[in-house]
Amino acid sequence: MRRAWLPALTLLVAALAACQSANAAAVVPTRVERLGSSAQGRPITAVVRGYPGATRNVLVVGVVHGTEPAGLAVIRALRYAVPPPGVRYWLVAAANPDGRAHGTRQNARGVDLNRNFPLTWRPGGARWSTYFPGPFAASEPETRAIMALVRRTRPAVTVWYHQHLGIVVRPTTYRARQVAGAYARVSGIPMRPYAALDGTASAWQARVDPQGAPLVVELRAGALDPAGVRRHVRAVAAAARRATA
Ligand SMILES: [Zn+2]
């Protein structure tokens, strides 16, 4: 007889848990901050999500190359996710809104933004060539907007979404490798080494802030399905917890 209560009790507990989690998601303070403007004047913005006492920042950047938009679905879902305790999410849907609008890898001036960052910058090529790094290091407004954000927030983890290799790039430092490993395990995307490239955002970050863990996540070609989006949302949280533990 007592067992007849169990299904009803289970349902009640599940409903309460869902209710609590929905409330928690609803009350996480969220604001939008303008970081700068693209070459064509489009706003570059961050959705900032976290409780006032959060002391560790986690930056997630969706579109650096305008032809690689799969990370946008993860960013959209993260806007409704509850960050781990003590963590604040900085969600930048597009560091390259002009490339996103025009469907180009480069920004509106024909520059590959992920070759335009300083410290490891190298000249080469012409505008609109695939990897044109710009006329000089940090020549592009999009690059400078992201650099200013990184310098200000010192993210414990940064996730840079690209496509289409289907790997989490294996970082060279032990600490970042632990964080990348957590991301890889939860997302189901393998961690693999990849060539060190000049002028990338992650290489610049690794030098200016050795305590941070800049992760390059190369999603597979095409769009993520809903289960894939959920896995990547959990992977961001797992990487954040690993970096801030
Ligand atoms: Zn890319």
CA of 217 to the centre of ligand 1 (A): 9
Alpha-carbon separation of residue 103 from 40, 44, 75, 98, 159 (angstroms): 14, 17, 19, 8, 22
Query: Which residues make beta-bridge pairs with 162?
Result: 218
CA of 161 to the centre of ligand 1 (A): 7
Q: Is 220 helix (H, G, I), strand (E, B) or coil?
A: strand
Cβ within 8 Å of residue 215, ≥6 positions away: 157, 158, 159, 160, 168, 169, 171, 176, 179, 180, 183, 202, 239
Yes or no: domain 29-244 corresponds to CATH 3.40.630.10? yes
CA of 113 to the centre of ligand 1 (A): 9
Cβ within 8 Å of residue 37, ≥6 positions away: 43, 44, 141, 145
CA of 235 to the centre of ligand 1 (A): 19
Q: Is the pTM of this model over 0.95?
A: no
* Interval 176-204: pLDDT, tens: 999 999 999 999 999 999 999 999 999 99
* Interval 47-99: pLDDT, tens: 999 999 999 999 999 999 999 999 999 999 999 999 999 999 999 999 999 99
